[in-house]
Chains A and B, each alone.
Chain A
Amino acid sequence: MNTHSITLANRNNARFDVDAKKPLLDSLRAQGVDLPYGCKYGGCITCAAKLVSGSVNQQAQVALNNRQLNDGYVILCVARPTNDCVLEIGVESHDRLYRNPFLDPLQPHELKADIAVPQEDIS
Chain B
Amino acid sequence: MSEPCCGPGYASPAEAMQAPQEKLLYTIAIYTGTGIQKPDYLVTIDADSESPTYSQVVSRLEMPGIGDELHHMGWNACSSCHGDAGMERKYLIVPGVRSSNLHIVDCATDPSNPSLFKVIDGAEIKAKTNLSAPHTIHCLGSEIIISMLGDAQGNAPGGYLHLNKDFEIVGRWENSMGDIKFGYDFWYQPRHNVMVSSEWAAPNTFMPGFDLEEVGHLKYGREIHFWNFEKKEPEQTFYLGEDGLIPLEVRFHHDPASSHGFVGAALSANIIHWWKDDADQWQWEKIIDVENEPHPEWPIPVPGVISVILLSMDDRFLYFCNWLHGDIRQYDISDPHNPKLTGQVWMGGLLNKAPMVNGVKVTGGPQMIQLSLDGKRLYVTTSLFSTWDNQFYPEIRTNGGCMLMVNCDTESGGMEIDKDFVVDFGKEPNGPSRCHETRYPGGDCTSDIWL
Q: Report yes or no: A45 in contact with B208, Cβ–Cβ below 8 A.
A: yes
| Interface flag for B351 (CB, 8 Å) | no
**Is the beta-carbon distance between B67 and A91 smaller than 8 angstroms?**
no
A106 lies within 8 A of B213 (CB)? yes
Q: Are A36 and B298 in contact (CB under 8 A)?
A: no
> Chain A, 44-74, contact with B by CB distance < 8 Å: what is the 0/1 string?
1110000000000000001111000000000
Q: Which residues of A contact B210 (CB under 8 A)?
A: 101
Interface residues of A in 25-42 (CB under 8 A from B): 34, 36-39, 41
Given A103-B299, A105-B213; A44-B392 close (CB under 8 Å): no
Q: How many residues of A contact B (CB 8 A)?
A: 31
Closest A residue to B203 using CB positions: A43
A38-B32 in contact given A62-B204, A98-B390 (Cβ < 8 Å): yes
A90 and B302 CA atoms in complex are apart in Å by 31
B214 touches A39 (CB 8 A): no
Take A91-B397, A111-B217 as given contacts and tell me if A37 and B67 are in contact as well, using a CB distance cutoff of 8 Å: yes
Query: Complex Cα distance A108/B389, Å?
Result: 24
Alpha-carbon gap, A100 to B266, bound state (A): 16
Residues of A within 8 A of B67 (CB): 36-38, 46
Task: Please give, as numbers and ranges, the residues of chain B lying within 8 Å of A44 by CB-CB distance.
Answer: 98, 154, 203-204, 207-208
Chain B residues near A39 (CB, 8 Å)?
Answer: 98-100, 132, 154, 203, 207
Interface string of B185-221 (1 = CB under 8 A from A): 0000000000000000001100111111110010100
| Inter-chain contacts of A38 with B (CB < 8 A) | 32, 67-69, 98-99, 207
Contacts of B100 in A (CB 8 A): 39
Of B33-41, B52-60, B423-431, B443-451, which binds chain A? B33-41
- Asked if B219 and A36 sit within 8 Å, CB to CB, the answer is no
Contact B391 A101 (CB under 8 A): yes
With both chains docked as a complex, state the minimum distance between the C-beta of A86 and any C-beta of chain B, in angstroms: 20
Residues in A whose Cβ lies below 8 Å from that of B297: 103
B302 surroundings in chain A (CB, below 8 A): 102
8 A Cβ contacts from B387-417 to A:
387, 390-392, 394, 397
Q: Chain A's nearest CB lies how many Å from the CB of B69?
A: 6
Q: Are A41 and B153 in contact (CB under 8 A)?
A: yes
User: Nearest-CB distance from A23 to chain B (Å)?
Assistant: 15
| B6 at interface, CB cutoff 8 A | no
Task: Establish whether residues A36 and B33, one from each chain, have CB atoms under 8 Å apart when the complex forms.
Answer: yes
Q: Are A45 and B387 in contact (CB under 8 A)?
A: yes
Are A43 and B35 closer than 8 Å at their CB atoms?
Answer: no
Closest to A63 in B: B208
| Complex contacts, B390 vs chain A, CB 8 Å | 94, 97-98
Please tell me which one of the listed residues B35, B132, B209, B300 contacts residue A91 in the complex, with CB atoms under 8 A apart: B35
A7 to B231, CA, bound (A): 56
B240 within 8 A of A: no
Minimal Cβ-Cβ distance residue in B for A36 = B67
Shortest beta-carbon distance, A40 to chain B, in Å? 8
B61 within 8 A of A: no
B116 sits at the interface (CB 8 A): no
Residue of B nearest to A40 (CB): B99
**Interface residue B119 (Cβ < 8 Å from any Cβ of A):** no
Q: 18 pairs across A/B with beta carbons < 8 Å?
A: A36-B67, A38-B68, A39-B100, A43-B153, A44-B203, A45-B208, A45-B387, A62-B154, A62-B204, A63-B207, A64-B208, A91-B34, A91-B35, A92-B35, A98-B391, A100-B391, A101-B209, A111-B217
A residues bordering B, Cβ < 8 Å?
Answer: 34, 36-39, 41, 43-46, 62-65, 90-92, 94, 97-103, 105-106, 108, 111-112, 115
